[in-house]
Chain A
């Protein structure tokens, strides 16, 4: 089925999310929609899926204009969508989820659910596309990658001929990503068209037949998968971007941070951080790699004193940090960028200026005898806004109104604006536009070069490899190993799935993977 979007325009108030977008998806093609967060990719797909009404423009299926008033229409026309958040009922089985919304009943007309037919359908589809899926498994027990397959099967079970995948790899390990890429190729061979929404350049080049780049709600061009990553990034951002940091090798000084046997228990008493030990020297960056939810969050919270570890010690220049309050830890010279800036990093209602002094307001620099020194706060804001190139209308603008990249710059500017003995940044560039990533990375490296031990937690392998002097890989609360920064990606990927370093090296040598190619 050929799908064509012509002149799609959609605005929300003054914001034009889609501006006359034209897009043609040929039958059996994998078409990547590449763009930064907020470029309008998701809006476009929601228009296509019938969730939004376009202000103008039309949708054509096999050259026939169609209108969808809701997802049901779109599904009926053969368009399936796998959302970034899975739309599955966690307590239902795979088969039940697949039949949800178009339940078939047994003959006889009394409304008995025909689960067998659904099971059969799941097996059939799984066989056809060569992956494993147990129709009777309960969805909440399945790993994320498999849940995603359920979503895909759900769409295919309704005879989807165009499949929209919205940022499908955001939650996957590199290995799961490879499996997904395999499935996408199978689907393509069977004649299904795929719209692959992403901002990850590596994957686009691995799988796409054609690439359409969207920037600020408009199509800025198309590219072939042979285009270099730098070219694609430049198209996305609208200016030349250098993807490689080209940082100088680290010159590690004395080891000042020692974490020994750190263990954090969750509410049920099971260890979410399990006997973690590492050391960190002045002037080096240790990145903590791992798939989201493997204890990185809890480790960071323990380091800052937000979470009380059950065992272990954290020594900073010989002083024990365990047992201190977050304020004491911050005062001891720890800078902290939390993984979720909008929740933990910023007070959205507060102005940029106020956010820039959020954890410094009690210091002599910004207050006197309990009264805020508004002049100093304003001066600091002007200074930081310029230094970090924070794009804001003014220092008094509410921080919640800034773009993700600029919000992150505010947090980073605040945390780096005082002398540090340890800098911890969790997901420093998540949801940040490509242009800002480069800038933020340079600031972090500059902090390292100034002699600060730096701990970066990231689930983005690109970022891990880019920033690291050494890489620690975390899996289910444990450190799988600490490896040099030149460790191949497929080895890292295996380690992120819990395979120890030696074994991972051996396995990677036997079965080189797609994403592993440099």
Chain B
């Protein structure tokens, strides 16, 4: 109660008389407000959330390390042994991760030394594109959890065009990518239409469509059209070379032209959200649907468009994934891309540049985690824990601010004053 009263004179909207405030409060969807606060946080919180996650990940590494455990048995006799062992374990693990994700100083040739970095870029490519899609939804106030399903559809359509048709190089690739975009756009469009027409919540619908997409693909992989002749394996034929994204650096690296697509997609989303009429409306609806409606922006139409654009990007991610690295459809083609994309969008604060770097970071964690496991025996699950912690901390900026004693933003000052 006191919070609201405090707001009366201290908040920037103090010019508003009480009856209006009372009306405004319940009308704003709590979820949407929370979403907006998460999305609009500053970059510092992102960085610090990551640092914090690394620290806690380090603690976990130390506690689970056998040498540390052994040294801990005589901790009170020789405490430094435990601390040294812990330090070494964490240092070794993170150093291995860095070697695996960015630069391998132990390699004998330059190519081998930077190969990890190109691998990180390769893994990050679909992640960045899909996260851009999720972010478009976020900025328009829609929680598109369905990137996973949209990626599957994009990969399915893109892959099918890639292996089922024979077309000249260039055109074939272009058509396959467009097919991927279309697949994702339609899949998300279904959720958009359902929300616009019936009010069905996009979170529920998109989650359910993920399953539909998953099992649709599993079914398709049992049909003749999607499997190799004479094989009963649930894998599709390989994508023809004319439809593959060309390698950028030669045979020694998997890095393909999809990375350039990711850069272009980032620029496109930046343009869309800040420089286009459509993006203006997306943001307006995301920020205040009431005022948007009063200004003549059709909310249902906008919802469908947002979902279509969001899904198109996720579908493109699926297309790039199969045409660039996978080259054949399998049941698990999307892995956990769609869900990682949500995290990347959050970590990148829904801004294209932020997402670009967050995607690289995430790709690096995945790639480096594998090397860390192989080199030091530290389970790769630690990477998952770090990723999960990042989300947790980003979703709770006040927690991160409290830990690092950052100044509270304006609005919170008044609340603090009442406490």
Residues of A within 8 Å of B14, CB to CB, are 37-38, 403-404
Contact B288 A85 (CB under 8 A): no
Asked whether, in the complex, the Cβ of A343 is within 8 Å of the Cβ of B27, the reply is yes
Contact flag A350-B296 (CB < 8 Å), given A13-B414, A40-B9, A430-B17: no
Q: A354-B280, A362-B277 are in contact. Are A52 and B20 (CB under 8 A)?
A: no
Query: Interface size bucket, A side?
Result: 35 or more
Distance between Cα atoms of A359 and B294 in the complex (Å): 8
Q: Which residues, 261 to 297 on B, are CB-close (under 8 Å) to A?
A: 271, 275-278, 280-281, 283-284, 287-288, 290-297
- Given known pairs A327-B297, A331-B296, the reply for A343 and B288 (CB within 8 Å) is yes
How far, in whole Å, are A51 and B6 apart by their CA atoms in the complex? 9
Stretch at the interface among A98-106, A111-119, A367-375: A367-375
One of A334-342, A381-389, A478-486, A494-502 at the interface: A334-342
Expressed in whole angstroms, the Cα–Cα distance for A516 and B313 within the complex equals 65
**Which A residues lie within 8 Å of B277 (CB)?**
361-362, 367, 370-372
- The interface bits of chain B over 149-165 (1 if a CB of A lies within 8 angstroms of the residue's CB, else 0) are 00000000000000000
CB neighbours (8 Å) of A406 from chain B are 15
Instruction: Count CB-based A-B contacts (< 8 Å).
Output: 156
- Chain A residue at minimum C-beta to C-beta distance from B15: A404
Bound form: Cα–Cα A328–B298 in Å: 10
CB distance from A247 to the nearest CB of B (A): 25
B59 lies within 8 A of chain A by Cβ: no
Residue A400 is within 8 A (CB to CB) of chain B in the complex: yes
Give the residues in chain B near A170, CB-CB below 8 Å: 17-19
Quick check: A372 and B10 within 8 Å, CB to CB?
no
Q: A342-B20, A404-B16 are in contact. Are A330 and B296 (CB under 8 A)?
A: yes
Determine the distance from Cα of A367 to Cα of B275 in the docked complex, in whole angstroms: 9
Chain B residues contacting A456 (CB-CB under 8 Å) are none
Tell me whether A338 and B16 are in contact (CB under 8 A).
no
Q: Name the residue of chain A whose CB is nearest to the CB of B17.
A: A431
Distance in angstroms between the alpha carbons of A350 and B283 in the assembled complex = 9
Complex Cα gap A319–B16 (Å): 37
CA distance A85 to B5 in the complex (A): 10
Q: Check A17 for interface membership: any CB of B closer than 8 A.
A: yes
Q: A348 — which chain B residues lie within 8 A by C-beta?
A: 13, 287-288
Closest to A217 in B: B9
A268 to B276, CA, bound (A): 41
Closest to B25 in A: A343
Number of interface residues of B (CB under 8 A): 46
Question: How far, in Å, is B417 (CB) from chain A's closest CB?
Answer: 5
Docked CA distance A404–B291 (Å): 16
Tell whether A400 pairs with B292 under 8 Å between CB atoms, given A13-B413, A52-B418: no
A169 contacts partner chain B, Cβ-Cβ < 8 Å: no
Q: Which of A329, A370, A404 contacts B276 (CB 8 A)?
A: A370
Q: Which residues of B105-158 are within 8 A (CB) of A? A: none
Judge if B8 is at the interface, Cβ distance under 8 Å. yes
Which among A167, A336, A342, A433 is the interface contact of B13 at CB below 8 angstroms?
Answer: A342
Q: Which residue of B lies closest to A325 (CB)?
A: B298
Q: Is B405 among interface residues, defined by CB-CB distance under 8 A?
A: no
Question: How many Å lie between the Cα of A167 and that of B17 in the bound state?
Answer: 10
Establish whether residues B278 and A370, one from each chain, have CB atoms under 8 Å apart when the complex forms.
Answer: yes
Interface residues of A (CB under 8 A from B): 12-13, 15, 17, 37-38, 40, 42-43, 46, 51-52, 84-85, 167, 170-171, 292, 304, 306, 325-331, 336, 338, 340, 342-350, 354, 358-359, 361-362, 367, 370-372, 374, 400-407, 430-433
Instruction: List 18 other contacts, CB 8 Å, given A37-B14, A330-B295, A370-B276.
Output: A37-B15, A37-B17, A38-B15, A42-B8, A85-B18, A170-B19, A327-B298, A330-B296, A340-B23, A343-B288, A358-B295, A361-B277, A361-B280, A362-B277, A371-B271, A372-B280, A407-B15, A430-B17
8 nearest A-B pairs in the assembled complex, by CB-CB distance: A404-B15, A327-B296, A359-B295, A12-B10, A13-B413, A38-B14, A431-B17, A403-B15
- Listed by A's residue number, 14 A-B pairs whose Cβ atoms lie within 8 Å are A12-B9, A12-B414, A326-B294, A338-B291, A342-B13, A344-B294, A345-B294, A347-B287, A354-B280, A359-B294, A359-B295, A374-B275, A431-B20, A432-B15
Interface residues, chain B, with chain A CB atoms under 8 Å away: 2, 5-6, 8-10, 12-20, 22-24, 27, 36, 40, 271, 275-278, 280-281, 283-284, 287-288, 290-298, 410, 413-414, 417-418
